Structures are given as structure tokens and as C-alpha cells.
Amino acid sequence: MTVAVRPCIKLTKGVREHIVDQLRSCRTREQLLAFEERFNCEAESGPLYLLICEFLHDRTISPALAAKWLRTLLDDRENQLRAQLNR
């Protein structure tokens, strides 16, 4: 099996803190999903969910906060898959 690996872009502490602040400012599901869409299109550091996992691993954010954000992103993916299957 071949796996394509994206290059890992190291972010400065200031950039990481800015991303966390932007995530924390998202008060609704829609705001978080809009931020994810922008981030994934504009950032070269990989998809947002991987960065959230990295923040969790590095203890930059709490497990509860990471779980909340990841749950929202995963629920959205699940809804998109269900919509595709029900066409």
C-alpha cells in the first residue's frame, strides 16, 4: 500500500496560539466548519483535524476542547457521507 505523506510544516508558537484563539472564538458549529474550510484551503500545515490532534498531543489544548472540536468535524464528515450514499 502506498501512502502519500504531506510535508510537516512546523508552526511558530505565535502562529499556533493564533490558530487556537481562532478556534476558541468559534461559538457555533457553523463558525467552526467555516473556519475549517478556510484553514484547509489556505494553510500549508495540513488539515485542521491533524493540527487539533497535534495541539492535544502537545497539551496546548484540553482533551475536552479537542473532543468538542473533533466531534463537530467528524459529525460533519459523517453527515456528508450519509448525504452522498442517499443520493
Q: Tell me the C-alpha to C-alpha distance, in Å, between residue 34 and each of 13, 22, 47, 72, 87.
A: 23, 11, 13, 12, 24
Residue found under cell 502537545: 58
8 in a domain, yes or no?
Answer: no
What is the predicted pLDDT for the residue at 36?
96
Q: Considering only CA atoms, which of 5, 66, 17, 73 is closest in space to residue 40?
A: 73
In a domain, 47, yes or no: yes
- What is the model's pLDDT at position 2? 53
Mean pLDDT score, 20-36: 97
pLDDT at 44: 82
User: 58: left (phi > 0), else alpha (psi -120 to 50), else beta?
Assistant: alpha
Tell me, yes or no, whether 10 lies in a domain. Answer: no
Distances (CA, A) of 51 to 15, 38, 70, 83: 12, 14, 11, 26
Q: Is 39 among the domain residues?
A: yes
Can you read off the three cell numbers belonging to residue 39? 484553514
- Inside any domain, residue 2: no
Number of domains in the chain: 1
Within a domain: 80: yes
Residue 48 lies in a domain: yes
Q: What is the pLDDT of residues 30-80, one digit of tens each?
A: 999 999 999 999 988 889 999 999 999 999 999 999 999 999 999 999 999
For residue 13, tell me if it sits in a domain. no
Residue 78's domain spans which residues? 23-85
- Whether 5 shows a pLDDT value over 60: the answer reads no
